[in-house]
Amino acid sequence: MVSAPRTVTCLSDDELLFRDTVRRFAEEEIAPLVRRMDEEQKMDAGLVRRLFALGLMGIPIPEQHGGGGGSFFDSVLAVEMVSTVDPAVGVLVDVQNTLVANALICWATPEQRANYLPRLAADTVGAYALSEAASGSDAFALETRAERRGDAYVLNGRKLWITNAREAGLFIVFATIDARAGYKGITAFVVEKDAPGFTVGRKEDKLGIRASSTCELIFDECLVPAAQVLGEPGKGYKIAIETLNEGRIAIGAQMLGLAEGAWRHAAQYAKERKQFGKPIVEFQAMQFQLAEMATEIEAARLMVYNAARLKDAQLPFRKEAAMCKYFASRMAERVASLAVEIFGGVGFVRDYPVEKLYRDAKIGKIYEGTSFMQLATIAKLTLD
């Protein structure tokens, strides 16, 4: 049995137990479903229920609201371990914990926390709706509008590329209440799936992480009570910036897990595959390639873990978050590509797992801030 190299000295006994529990769950409960979910482009509903039952959908939610009361680092470990088997499930867990739950924990009123957090911990998937057709890297060029009418707001507009949209029962939606105020007019709303005037539109047909639903959201005179404003009117920009900075660390963890899974498959195959009378792992060229992959994985792990620890310690982490996402996404694409090459011809077909991981890796450089945007952040914070 081949296992990826692993840093254990920086993990407590409780963290090691949690990590290993999630890893076993992924290998036993998720792995048998991966190919079917990818081909059907659909998350298995029974698997989602088991994720809730294990507590993986409410990791940071306080125990008083039915959650695990875990740290941000715990969420990162869970995303990493799940992603070693299926990064599509990894991003489901990621968005739930590091974006939706964290935003509510940090910004919701006591009444909102009491209403929404127990549901997120028990059985309700959350989604985070920021992106639009005209606002990608320029995330705050929002065209979705919210107009105050009495004790409610009316939302009109469309969101694109919203992760978890098909499964979600709760959405954090960003809209502009005053276009003249620029980013200071952006406001966050908590929108229920059954809100009048709200529709989940078509699901994107994607290259990778195909089981993860990525959909359009349509708001047509969507009525949202004023009590469901998250934070304060005009604070949406701050909410989005802070939660996305945290979410980038989790994307780094997703890419780290993906690379670990690809490395493990490649190393095991290299021990089994024989050419010229011996396993290909005995050739020095193959050993060096696997060693280089393992080194890059370890470097990414230390960067991801460090950024998560800084966040939990309430220390500045924006630069480290950008660095770990940038590095881990590049590393994952390279490691997954090399894994396909180690498998040779069979690595290019869907009967073997590395083909899917290679497809899944590409999104890491794109969502929650492209590599170009991470470099801009890194440059600003290191050169100023």
CB 294 within 8 A of CB 4: yes
Reply yes or no on whether 167 is catalytic: no
**pLDDT class of 297 with cuts at 50, 70, 90:** very high
- Cβ-Cβ contacts under 8 Å for 120 (sequence gap 6 or more): 57, 58, 61, 67, 96, 100, 101, 104, 126, 170
**pLDDT class of 138 with cuts at 50, 70, 90:** confident
- Cβ-Cβ contacts under 8 Å for 76 (sequence gap 6 or more): 98, 249, 250, 253, 304, 305, 308
- For 72-96, the pLDDT digits (tens) are 999 999 999 999 999 999 999 999 9
Model confidence, pTM: 0.95
Concatenated DSSP letters of 304-354? HHHHHHHHHTT---HHHHHHHHHHHHHHHHHHHHHHHHHHGGGGGSTTSTH
- Which of these is catalytic: 132, 296, 320, 368? 368
CATH homologous superfamily of 244-383: Butyryl-CoA Dehydrogenase, subunit A, domain 3 (1.20.140.10)
What is the fold of 127-237?
A: Butyryl-CoA Dehydrogenase, subunit A; domain 2 (2.40.110)
**pLDDT class of 136 with cuts at 50, 70, 90:** confident
CATH of domain 13-123: 1.10.540.10
Average of per-residue pLDDT across 40-51: 98
Residue 373: Cβ within 10 Å count: 18
* pLDDT at residue 8 greater than cutoff 50: no
- Axis-axis angle for helices 87-94, 72-83 (nearest 10): 160
The one-character DSSP state at 204 is: P
- For 182-237, the pLDDT digits (tens) are 889 999 999 999 999 999 999 999 999 999 999 999 999 999 999 999 999 999 99
290 is written with which tokens?
Answer: 């696997």
Where exactly are the structural domains of the chain?
A: 13-123, 127-237, 244-383
Higher per-residue confidence, 80 vs 5: 80
The amino acid occupying position 102 is: N
Question: Which burial class, exposed, middle or buried, applies to 236 when counting CB atoms under 10 A from its CB (0-12, 13-18, 19+)?
Answer: buried
- For 143-157, the pLDDT digits (tens) are 999 999 999 999 999
Residue with tokens 């939302």: 155
* pLDDT at residue 335 greater than cutoff 80: yes
**pLDDT class of 142 with cuts at 50, 70, 90:** very high
